[in-house]
């Protein structure tokens, strides 16, 4: 979890290694089935369309939010009881929480931390 950029940049440097698969959440949001196929290929697993469909249903954000294994229910109960670890699953949803100053601050933070790399995060309008 931390330090975020150190971990991300280290992985990005190894993105061409045969044992590294680098994915972006935006890819999942655009075409989950394509990402499932890509992961299956990476893992050298044969997968049919029915399995892809089942996986996509299982990984659908609404079903994912209901999965007690990933939603950290016990932790969120301690915090407030009404929180969910998994939020909306919408690319760019952070904009609903940031004002202009916070947005500029986050963009500077990203630019500063990615200055020495060719890694970019896709900007998708929501």
- Residue 14 falls within a domain, yes or no? yes
- Residue 121 falls within a domain, yes or no? no
Query: pLDDT by residue (tens digit) across 45-67?
Result: 999 999 999 999 998 877 777 77
- Residue 126 falls within a domain, yes or no? no
Q: Is the peptide bond before 18 cis (omega within 30 degrees of 0)?
A: no
Domain that holds residue 102: 4-114
Per-position DSSP letters for 27-51, written without gaps between them? HHHH-HHHHHHHHHHHTT----HHH
- Residue 54 falls within a domain, yes or no? yes
* Model confidence, pTM: 0.71
In this prediction, residue 65 carries a pLDDT of 72
In this prediction, residue 121 carries a pLDDT of 74
Query: pLDDT by residue (tens digit) across 64-120?
Result: 777 777 766 665 565 555 556 566 666 767 777 788 899 889 889 888 999 889 988
Query: pLDDT by residue (tens digit) across 6-15?
Result: 998 999 999 9
Q: Are 92 and 124 in contact (CB under 8 A)?
A: yes
Region for residue 117 given its phi and psi (left: phi exceeds 0; alpha: psi -120 to 50; beta: otherwise)? beta
């Amino acid at each position: 979890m931390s330090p975020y950029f150190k971990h991300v940049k280290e992985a990005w440097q190894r993105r061409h290694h045969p044992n590294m698969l680098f994915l972006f959440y935006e890819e999942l949001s655009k075409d989950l089935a394509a990402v499932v196929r890509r992961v299956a290929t990476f893992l050298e697993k044969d997968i049919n369309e029915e399995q892809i469909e089942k996986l996509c249903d299982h990984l659908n954000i609404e079903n994912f939010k209901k999965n007690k294994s990933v939603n950290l229910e016990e932790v969120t109960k301690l915090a407030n009881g009404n929180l969910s670890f998994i939020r909306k699953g919408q690319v760019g949803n952070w904009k609903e929480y940031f004002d202009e100053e916070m947005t500029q601050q986050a963009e500077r933070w990203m630019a500063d931390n990615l200055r020495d790399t060719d890694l970019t995060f896709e900007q998708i309008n929501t």
